[in-house]
């Protein structure tokens, strides 16, 4: 990173920023002195969060985009990146889940989940990489312990997260020459609105889950690692174990 770039405030681009882990991360990074580029589907929720976080020391730019629409992603990110903030860290946090048997899962639901949890991450990285190369930036992909385990009725989710972990490792190898580091944050169950989704049916005790704020602290810790090293993968689980 050049001395002029290092003198500027760090900038975090966070997807799925309007609620849950994304919103908690936005708050944590703002408090730590980051400028913010926030992306989510809900324009109203994004703007409400932005108004909460904007200050003389914290610039916040937002854009609303549905990551399940592959045609919408590149134009939205081009718009966001054209506003003058150059990201130093990209947090691919947005995602979804689906519970149901693999044998009976409708193809459109499979493609929807694959787009949200994997392909949109690929598209986001492709759009942001030119900017990150300017800052020797960091990419953090938020994954799940489902990437390493098999859970009945969660097969599609497990598959997308396993593919995301592999993508992260491959991207790290390709981008190392450009000074870009890639980390994966592997999470156990987190108490977020994901569990209220129409596509998720579960009866886990959410009181034993990780909090979004605890996850945000870990994301910030990863982002603040010196550029001379990288934490390739860190696993954060509830003390109660797999729920």
Domain containing residue 198: CATH number: 3.40.50.720
Is 85 within the bounds of a domain? yes
Q: How far apart are CA 5 and CA 43, in angstroms?
A: 30
Which residues contact residue 239 at a Cβ distance below 8 angstroms, ignoring those fewer than 6 apart?
none
What integer best gives the mean pLDDT of the chain?
A: 91
Residue 243 included in any domain = no
Tens digit of pLDDT for each residue in 44-84?
999 999 999 999 999 999 999 999 999 999 999 999 999 99
pTM, two decimal places: 0.91
Surface-to-core class of residue 130, CB atoms within 10 Å of its CB (0-12 exposed, 13-18 middle, 19+ buried): exposed
> Does the residue 241 lie in any domain?
no
From 157, 186, 194, 215, the catalytic residue: 157
The answer to whether residue 175 is domain-embedded is: yes
Query: What span, in angstroms and rounded, lies between the C-alpha atoms of 136 and 215?
Result: 24
- Domain presence at residue 67: yes
- Residue 190 pLDDT grade (very low, low, confident, very high; cuts 50, 70, 90): confident
Could you tell me what percentage of the chain is helix, strand and coil, using 3-state DSSP and rounding each to the nearest 5? 50, 15, 35
Q: What is the mean pLDDT of residues 94-107?
A: 93
Note the pLDDT of residue 1: 46
Inter-axis angle of helices 120-135 and 70-81, to 10 degrees?
20
Token pair 């944590």 in the structure block, residue: 28
Q: Is 157 a residue of the active site?
A: yes
For the chain, the domain total comes to 1
The answer to whether residue 18 sits within a structural domain is yes
Residue 157 in any domain: the answer is yes
pLDDT tier, 188 (very low <50, low <70, confident <90, very high otherwise): confident
Using CA atoms, how far residue 75 sits from 7, 63, 65, 172, in Å, is 29, 11, 9, 25
Residue 232 lies in a domain: yes
């Amino acid at each position: 990173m050049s001395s002029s770039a290092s003198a500027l405030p760090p900038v975090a681009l966070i997807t799925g920023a309007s609620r849950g882990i994304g919103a908690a991360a936005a708050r944590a990074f703002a408090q730590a002195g980051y400028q913010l580029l926030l992306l989510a589907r809900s324009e109203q929720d994004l703007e409400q969060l932005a108004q909460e976080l904007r200050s003389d020391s914290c610039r916040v730019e937002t854009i609303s985009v549905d990551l399940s629409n592959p045609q919408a992603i590149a134009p939205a990110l081009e718009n966001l990146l054209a506003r003058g903030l150059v990201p130093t860290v990209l947090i691919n946090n947005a995602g979804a889940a689906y519970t149901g048997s693999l044998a009976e899962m409708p193809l459109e639901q499979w493609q929807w989940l694959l787009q949200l949890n994997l392909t949109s991450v690929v598209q986001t990285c492709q759009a942001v990489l030119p900017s990150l190369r300017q800052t020797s930036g960091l990419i953090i992909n938020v994954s799940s312990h489902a990437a390493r385990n098999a859970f009945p009725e969660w097969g599609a989710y497990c598959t997308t997260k396993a593919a995301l972990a592999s993508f992260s490792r491959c991207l790290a190898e390709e981008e190392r020459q450009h000074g870009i580091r890639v980390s994966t944050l592997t999470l156990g169950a987190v108490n977020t609105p994901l569990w209220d989704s129409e596509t998720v049916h579960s009866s886990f005790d959410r009181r034993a889950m990780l909090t979004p704020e605890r996850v945000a602290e870990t994301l910030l810790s990863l982002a603040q690692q010196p550029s001379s090293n990288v934490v390739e993968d860190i696993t954060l689980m509830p003390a109660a174990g797999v729920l």
